[in-house]
Homo-oligomer: A and B are copies of this chain.
Amino acid sequence: MSELMNNSASPRTTASRGRIRRENEARILEAAERVFAETGLAGATMSQIAQAAGLPKANLHYYFGTKEQLYQAVLTAILELWLDATDAMLPESDPALALAGYVRAKMRHSRTRPFASRVFANELLSGAPYLTDYLEIDLKQRVEAKSRIIAGWISEGRMAALDPRHLFFMIWAMTQTYADFAVQIRAVMNVESLDDDAWEEATGEVISFVLRGCGITPAASAP
């Protein structure tokens, strides 16, 4: 019998079993991201995540082991997303275009992946016990590299003199607040949710503010 070595009780092929596994893992990860975004690692329960994923609680343990391991899987996926945003900030870039593009990318991220942003925020609020290496190695080095480029632009007189590290702290804060504290923004703006126009307007406000804050006059519209 050709199925001799197949330890599965089902008649499915190896390929389809792999497909189901990937689909279930993806469903669980997506549900876990939403739940961890609301209450963080300590506050989230496996029951909530299972219900959000539409699967029995035992399946979560079968696929990911413990709650901590599931959380780390969610965090890892978010970090890959974070680091993928390889922003085009090169020494020869135009500061106005580079900074505007960076802010726009961050705002798009806040809109398309708000739960990822909130999981990250929760992790930082609780002291980042699972992100020490990322913060002290990866992020630190990236900021230092980008800061050298910005320092170059400053020394060339292309933008105002400021500490590039604080510029990053401020840009991250301004853009992520539209994901992390969306409930506050909706309350003050008196809307159920931000639509396309509202997001475009918010993005424009932040870009203009950042460029002026950097001492860069927004590109003149016409001569």
Q: Which residues of A contact B (CB under 8 A)?
A: 37-44, 118, 121-122, 124-128, 132, 135-136, 139-140, 143, 160, 162-163, 165-170, 172-174, 176-178, 180-181, 183-185, 187-190, 201-202, 205-206, 208-210, 212-215
Contact = CB atoms under 8 A, between A and B. Distances in A.
Copies of this chain per assembly: 2
A154 to B, nearest CB: 13
Given A40-B43, A140-B187, A169-B184, 5 more contacts: A42-B43, A125-B180, A139-B184, A172-B177, A173-B177
Nearest to A42: B43
Contacts of A177: 169-170, 172-173
Given A42-B43, A177-B172, A206-B170, A188 B125 contact: no
Contacts of A174: 169-170, 173-174
Given A188-B143, A189-B165, A205-B166, A125 B118 contact: yes
Say what secondary structure dominates the interface of chain A: helix
A125, A140, A206: residue with the most chain B Cβ atoms closer than 10 Å:
A125
Nearest to A208: B162
Contacts of A210: 213
Given A43-B41, A125-B37, A209 B135 contact: no
Nearest to A143: B188
B187 A136 contact: yes
B40 A187 contact: no
A21 to B, nearest CB: 30
A179 to B, nearest CB: 10
19 contacts: A38-B125, A39-B42, A39-B126, A40-B42, A40-B43, A41-B43, A42-B43, A42-B44, A43-B126, A121-B121, A135-B184, A136-B187, A140-B187, A169-B174, A169-B188, A170-B205, A170-B209, A173-B181, A209-B213
A177 to B, nearest CB: 4
A193 B132 CA distance: 15
